[in-house]
Structure 1
């Protein structure tokens, strides 16, 4: 399934290349990207979640499952043509997400937000994503209902 922020905007994806799915969980987005011709690095802290994702993928080619604690940064190196981060928020990781993008690469990020919901340490403040990724060219941004999303491209 496409990441939430990309639904209806699939035309923004490049034709293929490398993709990074950050905090992938069971890897639904990773498998979806692989099905569209991307070589995907699917990263999550949970080996159990990764194993479930690999089993559910039923041998789908194109996904490398990587157990990694994201509080220590991103594993490996880019550049990636697509970076997806869905419902994992660590502002300290924002610069690494942007740096992992290839020229012209697409960032797709959704985090919990204070906008339209209560505050808390795991929720983005109003305008957080736009400020953090201000060097990228935005295609779509939204805040409300307890979520913030940004779809943006690194300049070529």
Structure 2
């Protein structure tokens, strides 16, 4: 990722208001599928709403982002909610792949789209692990960085798809490794 992109995210996170833990969009309504323990990977974690939410549910989370400002917010949120020991922050450019080897019981990638990363997300899953992906979509939306119709279903066809929907400019996929 270009330095300008990292700086843009740093500014965006520095100017943003406070956040609270929240489930990944792809898991909403399916929270019962979440394992009570194990490892989770939050790719492009931003300010940590999902990472801390996962840690509050008993998972040990590797939170990865290119923004040091975002990762600072992750640390503060995790500390405030008493799960700092279960949220491990990784400053990393995802253009270089994933910084921590799998196997994860849960892998989340929310609002970050890089089709070249899709096979690595699948490869990071433990057997039976959950993958929760949400990206901007051309289905009901326009603009840059959007997935083509059916992109997630095609990219993750080797997984057991538990939920897949596209519309209103968003594509969501929840799947399980076989």
Query: Which bracket does the TM-score occupy, shorter chain normalised?
Result: over 0.9
Separation in 1, partners of 2:168, 2:137: 8
Residue 112 of structure 2: which of 88, 91, 102 is its match?
Answer: 88
- Partner residue in 2 for 1:131: 154
Which structure dedicates a bigger proportion of its chain to strand? Answer: 1
Q: Which runs of 5+ in 2 are unaligned?
A: 1-21
Partner of 1:17: 38
Root mean square deviation, CA, Å: 0.9
Q: Does the residue aligned with 2:113 lie in a helix, a strand or coil?
A: coil
Give runs of ≥4 in structure 1 deviating > 6 Å. Answer: none
Corresponding residue for residue 152 of structure 1: 175
Q: TM-score, normalised by structure 2?
A: 0.84
For structure 1, the 5+ residue unaligned runs are: none
Are 2:98 and 1:98 aligned?
A: no
> Given that residues 64 and 89 in structure 2 are in contact (C-alpha distance below 8 angstroms), is that contact kept between their aligned partners in structure 1?
yes
1:1-156 matches, cutoff 5 A: 1-58=22-79, 59-60=82-83, 61-120=85-144, 122-155=145-178
Q: SS of 1:48's equivalent?
A: helix
Say which SS state the counterpart of residue 95 (structure 1) adopts.
helix
Task: Count residues with an aligned counterpart.
Answer: 154
**Alpha-carbon distance, 1:56 to partner:** 2.1
* Cα deviation code 1:63-101 (max 9, x no counterpart): 001100001100120000000000000000000000000
Please state which structure has a larger fraction of its residues in helix: 2
Cα deviations across residues 28-51 of structure 1 (Å, max 9, x unaligned)? 110110111101000000011101
